[in-house]
C-alpha cells in the first residue's frame, strides 16, 4: 500500500481578489488544486464577486466595492452603511496594514505536497502574494 505524501499549509496575503485568484489559478494549473481564497473584513460582510463587480456595473455602493458590504440593508441599518463609508479603507488610504491578518484583505490558503512547497511559494509570489 502506497503512503500518501504529507501536505503543507501555505497562507498568503494579497491586496486584491484578482491577484489572489491569479495565484490560485497558477497553483491549479500546476496540479495543486486544494486552495481557497478568503476575504477578511472588520465588518463581517460577505465576499460576493457577482454583486461587487465594478467592471460589470454591478456594485450597489462604494462600500460594496471596497468593504464588500452589499448585504447591508438600506432600510434597517443606514447608520452602519454611513460608518462603513467613512472607513479609511474606502478611500484607499489604508491599503496596507489596516487591522487585518497579513495586512491585506485577501488571503489564499493552499494545501500542497511537502515536496512542492517551494514551487507553490514561488507561484504565489510571482502573482503578487506575500507568504
Q: What is the DSSP string of 83-112?
A: HHHTSHHHHTTTSSSSSSGGGSSEEEEEEE
CB 123 within 8 A of CB 28: no
- Tell me the pLDDT tens digit for each residue of 88-103: 666 655 555 555 655 6
In a domain, 7, yes or no: yes
pLDDT attached to residue 50: 47
In a domain, 78, yes or no: no
In a domain, 114, yes or no: yes
Confidence band for 3, pLDDT divided at 50, 70 and 90: confident
CATH of the domain at 15: 3.30.70.120
| pLDDT(66) > 90 | no
> What is the domain range of residue 20?
1-40+100-131
Domain tally for the chain? 1
In a domain, 73, yes or no: no
In a domain, 48, yes or no: no
In a domain, 86, yes or no: no
pTM of the model: 0.65
In a domain, 118, yes or no: yes
In a domain, 61, yes or no: no
Confidence band for 18, pLDDT divided at 50, 70 and 90: confident
- Tell me the pLDDT tens digit for each residue of 70-83: 555 556 566 666 66
Amino acid at each position: 500500500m502506497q503512503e500518501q505524501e504529507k501536505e503543507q499549509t501555505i497562507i498568503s496575503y494579497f491586496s486584491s481578489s484578482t491577484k489572489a485568484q491569479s495565484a490560485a489559478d497558477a497553483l491549479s494549473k500546476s496540479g495543486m488544486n486544494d486552495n481557497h481564497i478568503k476575504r477578511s473584513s472588520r465588518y463581517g460582510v460577505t465576499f460576493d464577486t457577482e454583486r461587487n463587480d465594478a467592471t460589470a456595473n454591478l456594485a450597489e455602493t462604494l462600500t460594496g466595492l471596497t468593504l464588500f458590504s452589499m448585504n447591508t440593508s438600506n432600510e434597517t441599518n443606514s447608520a452602519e452603511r454611513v460608518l462603513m463609508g467613512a472607513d479609511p479603507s474606502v478611500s484607499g488610504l489604508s491599503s496596507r496594514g489596516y487591522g487585518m491578518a497579513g495586512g491585506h484583505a485577501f488571503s489564499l490558503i493552499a494545501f500542497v505536497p511537502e515536496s512542492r512547497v517551494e514551487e507553490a511559494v514561488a507561484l504565489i509570489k510571482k502573482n503578487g502574494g506575500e507568504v
